[in-house]
Amino acid sequence: MDKKILFNPLGDDSLIQRKIIKGNSTNIFNLNNVKYQWANHLYRNMMGNFWIPEKIDLTQDKNDYNNLTFDEREAYNGILSFLIFLDSIQTNNIPNISDYITAPEVNLILSIQTFQEAIHSQSYQYIIESILPKEIRNSIYDKWRDDKILFERNRYIAEIYQNFIENQSDENFAKTIIADYLLEAIYFYNGFNFFYLLASRNRMMGTSDIIRLINRDELSHVIIFQQLLKEIRNENPNFFKDEIIYEMFEKAVKQEIAWTNHIIGDRVLGITKENTEKYTKWLANERLKSIGLKPIYKGFDKNPYKQLEKFADTEGEGNVKANFFEGTVTSYNMSSSVEGWDEF
């Protein structure tokens, strides 16, 4: 893989010659001529989903946090730590990917993704500062180094990214794109479910509203990497090896289940180890099908948390709407908060 040339007067931006990778881009954002229309559509959706975490009141959440069980607080803190790592590493890594993307319309949405990941990091800071006692705040940021299971979980994805930075081979870039898809499409969602289940019991409602908005952004990121996988495969049929994709999926699913059982297990009302396995393997099957591959977990064809769909599929003026479990964004509007929890 060669990094694209920043100043490239001899580049060819014609639609016929344009490619996701290995093209000859001038890097001029001529968005009047767009080859990948899905990127143009997604750009408009992502721009319409601007939001600010401080618009959501977390006053009641501070009282709710003190009334959580010990295990619920441990899960709350641990999941926050994991989400902080995911969004932090994505904020830093997405520009590395964009350096090798030679379609300006795709570079554009990757820039927006980087911005959104930064907003998510700011959101977690707002949650931590508003809700958690001072004496444990720093421990949330350090937990990924202190917890062995979380460290191994984070190291797997981070080392794939780092390997590409150190060796820009086609194979390492392919693994990086797959790893990005796994992070966006698999890693977040057992954590999201935890916050939604708390909200279903009228606890930590402000936190769950922020998570719901983050959830909407992450759905658009799922679509970005779904499309990148499919477009690169279409233009370079041998670039991705199916066996590598399946191997990485199996590793990610195993780690996701192990981490969720470690931080939640059977200790939080509404979540069980059995449902964690069912949900994670079902979700992996859905994500594989969305990139044109056969599912690998036989019998895992139902979502045990089906009742949570309404938490991430909100309609009405001023709200956002997305199909959370299928990972397709249907519409976005300017948002500052989300209503509708009382309908659950």
Q: Measured between alpha carbons, how far is 120 from 51 in angstroms, rounded to an integer?
A: 10
Residue 313 pLDDT: 52
**Which residue ranges form the domains of the chain, and what is each CATH number?**
55-300 (1.10.620.20)
pLDDT tens, N- to C-terminus, the chain (344 residues)? 999 999 999 999 999 999 999 999 999 998 889 999 999 999 999 999 899 999 999 999 999 999 999 999 999 999 999 999 999 999 999 999 999 999 999 999 999 999 999 999 999 999 999 999 999 999 999 999 999 999 999 999 999 999 999 999 999 999 999 999 999 999 999 999 999 999 999 999 999 999 999 999 999 999 999 999 999 999 999 999 999 999 999 999 999 999 999 999 999 999 999 999 999 999 999 999 999 999 999 999 999 998 877 665 533 333 444 444 444 444 434 343 344 333 32
* Sign of the CA dihedral with 199 first, then 202, 203, and 206 last: positive
Residue 325 pLDDT: 45
Are 121 and 94 a contacting pair, CB within 8 Å?
no
* Residue at token pair 């044109």: 292
Start-to-end CA distance of the chain, whole Å, equals 49
**Encoded tokens for 181:** 């898809």
Q: Measured between alpha carbons, how far is 203 from 68 in angstroms, rounded to an integer?
A: 8
Residue 336 pLDDT: 37
Catalytic residue among 124, 297, 305, 332: 124
Residue 306 pLDDT: 87
| Residue 161 a catalytic site member | no
User: Apex CA 330: angle with CA 327 and CA 333, to 5°?
Assistant: 120
Residue 34 pLDDT: 94
pTM: 0.90
